[in-house]
C-alpha cells in the first residue's frame, strides 16, 4: 500500500510540473458547443447558435474506444508531453501534437481523453486513435484559440445533422443563410415569374421571411413560414433588393440571419411602328430611311433586317439607332423587319414587327418597230411594237405626232403592240413610253422613230401648149397632179418602134418636146411620190402627129 501511495504522490507531483501550461482561466460558455460524430468522423464547432466551422477528425480504432455522451472541455494545454514514451511537448514526434483540449469523459478530468493534434496527418478521417479525437495540427490550433473551458462536447454516432444533434441536446441553434438563389438570373423582364430559394449553412428547422425593396420602401412579400422558397412576379421595371430573413423555430430573435441581393427588372421592348420615309413601291437604288418607334427609345436597342424572298440579311445589327438607310439594288417584294430588345435583355429579341416593301426597276424601252418599213402609203394597216426590259410588269403607251399634235394611239396598258392606220400622208413621229406598273412617273423611258406615210401620186391633168406640134413648133407638156409636194415626173416617147426616155424622174412637171422628124408619136407621162417604191403611181399618154413640112417655094 505504501508503494502505491508513493506512486500516486509522485504522479501528482509530476503532473503538476508538466501541467504548468494548462489554461483554466476561461469562463464557462453556454454559447459554444462542440459535436463529434463518430459515424462521419467530423467535428462541428458552434458559437452563438451557429456552426462556425467543421473539421475532419480521427476517432477510436474500435467504436468503444472513443466514449459517447455529453462532456465538457475541462482544460486547455499547449505542448502537452507524451508521458508514455517520455516525448516532450512540442516535439514533432509527439503523437498528441502541440494542442490539447481535455474532456472529462468516463470520470477523467482531461488527462485521458482529449481533442488534440497528431504526428500522423494521414490518420485524419479514419478510425485510428486509442480513444482521443485527433485533428490536423493547424486546425486544432485554430479551435484551441476559440474554445472556452467548460464548453459542452457531444460525442455521438448518428446519421442526423449537426443541427439536429445540437437541438436534441438543448442547444439553441440559430439559422444562418448560406445563399439566396433566384431561378432566373437578373435582369429579367417585368411579369416574369421568379422563384427565390434560400439555402442554410446547416439543415436546421427554420422559419423564413421575404421582403422586397422597390427603391423607395420595403414591402413584405411573405411572413415567417417553414417554406424557404417564394415565387415573385414583379410587374414594374426597377432596381430591386430582395431580402430574406431566417430564424430557428425556437429563436427568440426577430431574425437570426438575413441576406439581401440586388435584382433588376426591365420592361421588354415593344415595337410600336415601322415607317419608311418614301411610300412603297420605289425604284431600285433609291435611298430609303427606315425608322422605328418603341415603348422606350432610350433603353432599347434595335436590329434591322430585310428578306428578299430567299434569305434574311441584316442591314444594321443591334445598336441604339432608331433609323437606318437602305438602298436596295434588286427589284422585288421585300419584308423589312425590326427586332427590338431592352439593353438589359438576354433574349435574341423582345419584340419584332415587319412591313412589306416593293422595289422595282425603271422600265426601259429596248426596241420600237413597225411591221412594215417606212415609207408606206396612207390607209395601210400597220402594227407598232415595243419591247421593254420587263414585259410582265411594264406598261406601254403609244403616241403619234402628225406634225402638229401628239395623238395617243393607245394609252398605258400591258400590250406590247398596237394597230395604226394612217389616213393622211406626212412624216410622222412614232413614240412609245414605258413605265413600271408601280411607277408614279409620267413615264420611265421612251423611244421615238420617224415614219413616212404618203399618198400615191395622181395625175389630175396634162396640159399642152399646142395639140399640133411641128418640126418648127415645139410643144410644152405640163403635168398637174392632185398633190404638189414630193412629186416626181418622168417623160417618155414612142416613135412607133420603141420607147425612149425623154426625161427621167425629177421634180419638174414640165417638158418641152420639139419633134425632130415627122411621124406619129406617143408621149407618156409617169408620176410617183418620191417615197414610192413603185415604177410609177399614175400615167397618161398623149398622141401627136407631126406632119411633114410642105415646100412652098415658087418656081
Active site members: 116, 132
Identify the three-state secondary structure at position 329: coil
Q: Let me know: does 250 contact 258? Beta carbons within 8 Å.
A: no
Distance CA 80, CA 89 (A): 5
Q: Measure the CA–CA gap between 364 and 357, rounded to whole angstroms.
A: 22
For the residues of 142-191, what is the DSSP string, one character each? Answer: HHHHHPPTT-EEEEE--SS-HHHHHHHTT--PPP-EEEEEESSPSPEETT
CB 236 within 8 A of CB 266: no
Burial track 513-542 (b if 16+ CB lie within 10 A, e otherwise)? bebeeeeebebbbbbbbebbeeebbbeeeb
Q: Evaluate whether 544 touches 507 at the Cβ level (below 8 Å).
A: no
Q: Among residues 499, 492, 508, which one has the least CA distance to residue 540?
A: 492
The edge-to-edge listing of strands for the beta sheet with 459-464 is 459-464, 475-481, 510-513
The Cα–Cα gap between 81 and 57 comes to 21
Amino acid at each position: 500500500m505504501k508503494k502505491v501511495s508513493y506512486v500516486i504522490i509522485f504522479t501528482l507531483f509530476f503532473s503538476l510540473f508538466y501541467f504548468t501550461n494548462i489554461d483554466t482561466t476561461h469562463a464557462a460558455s453556454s454559447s459554444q458547443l462542440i459535436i463529434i460524430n463518430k459515424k462521419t468522423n467530423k467535428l462541428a464547432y458552434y458559437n452563438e447558435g451557429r456552426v462556425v466551422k467543421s473539421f475532419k477528425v480521427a476517432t477510436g480504432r474500435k467504436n468503444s474506444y472513443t466514449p459517447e455522451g455529453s462532456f465538457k472541455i475541462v482544460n486547455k494545454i499547449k505542448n502537452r508531453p507524451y508521458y508514455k514514451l517520455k516525448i516532450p511537448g512540442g516535439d514533432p514526434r509527439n503523437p498528441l501534437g502541440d494542442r490539447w483540449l481535455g474532456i472529462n469523459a468516463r470520470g477523467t478530468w482531461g488527462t485521458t481523453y482529449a481533442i488534440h493534434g497528431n504526428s500522423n496527418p494521414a490518420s485524419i478521417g479514419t478510425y485510428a486513435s486509442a480513444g482521443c479525437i485527433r485533428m490536423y495540427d493547424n486546425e486544432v490550433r485554430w479551435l484551441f484559440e476559440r474554445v472556452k473551458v467548460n464548453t459542452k462536447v457531444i460525442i455521438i454516432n448518428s446519421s442526423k445533422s449537426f443541427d439536429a444533434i445540437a437541438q436534441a441536446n438543448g442547444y439553441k441553434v440559430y439559422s444562418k443563410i448560406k445563399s439566396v438563389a433566384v431561378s432566373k438570373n437578373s435582369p429579367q423582364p417585368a411579369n416574369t415569374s421568379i422563384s427565390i430559394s434560400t439555402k442554410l449553412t446547416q439543415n436546421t428547422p427554420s422559419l423564413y421571411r421575404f421582403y422586397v425593396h422597390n427603391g423607395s420602401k420595403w414591402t413584405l412579400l411573405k411572413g415567417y413560414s417553414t417554406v424557404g422558397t417564394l415565387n415573385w412576379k414583379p410587374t414594374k421595371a426597377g432596381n430591386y433588393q430582395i431580402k430574406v430573413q431566417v430564424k430557428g423555430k425556437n429563436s427568440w430573435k426577430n431574425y437570426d440571419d438575413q441576406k439581401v441581393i440586388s435584382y433588376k427588372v426591365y420592361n421588354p421592348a415593344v415595337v410600336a411602328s415601322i415607317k419608311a420615309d418614301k411610300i412603297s413601291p420605289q425604284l431600285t437604288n433609291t435611298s430609303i430611311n427606315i425608322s422605328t418607334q418603341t415603348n422606350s427609345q432610350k433603353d432599347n436597342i434595335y436590329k434591322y433586317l430585310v428578306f428578299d424572298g430567299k434569305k434574311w440579311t441584316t442591314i444594321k445589327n443591334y445598336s441604339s439607332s432608331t433609323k437606318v438607310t437602305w438602298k436596295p439594288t434588286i427589284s422585288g417584294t421585300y419584308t423589312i423587319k425590326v427586332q427590338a430588345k431592352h439593353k438589359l435583355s438576354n433574349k435574341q429579341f423582345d419584340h419584332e414587327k415587319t412591313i412589306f416593301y416593293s422595289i422595282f426597276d425603271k422600265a426601259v424601252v429596248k426596241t420600237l418597230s413597225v411591221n412594215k418599213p417606212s415609207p408606206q402609203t396612207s390607209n395601210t394597216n400597220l402594227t407598232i411594237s415595243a419591247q421593254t426590259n420587263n414585259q410582265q410588269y411594264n406598261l406601254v403607251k403609244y403616241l403619234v405626232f402628225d406634225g402638229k399634235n401628239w395623238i395617243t394611239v393607245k394609252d398605258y396598258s400591258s400590250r406590247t403592240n398596237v394597230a395604226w392606220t394612217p389616213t393622211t400622208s406626212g412624216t410622222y413621229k412614232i413614240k412609245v413610253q414605258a413605265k413600271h406598273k408601280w411607277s408614279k412617273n409620267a413615264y420611265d423611258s421612251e423611244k421615238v422613230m420617224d415614219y413616212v406615210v404618203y399618198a400615191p401620186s395622181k395625175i389630175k391633168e396634162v396640159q399642152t401648149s399646142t395639140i399640133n406640134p411641128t418640126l418648127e413648133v415645139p410643144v410644152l407638156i405640163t403635168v398637174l397632179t392632185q398633190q404638189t409636194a414630193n412629186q416626181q415626173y418622168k417623160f417618155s416617147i414612142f416613135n412607133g418602134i420603141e420607147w425612149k426616155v425623154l426625161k427621167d424622174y425629177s421634180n419638174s412637171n414640165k417638158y418641152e418636146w420639139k419633134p425632130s422628124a415627122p411621124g406619129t408619136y406617143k408621149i407618156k407621162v409617169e408620176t410617183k411620190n418620191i417615197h414610192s417604191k413603185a415604177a410609177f403611181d399614175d400615167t397618161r399618154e398623149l398622141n401627136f402627129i407631126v406632119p411633114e413640112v410642105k415646100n412652098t417655094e415658087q418656081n
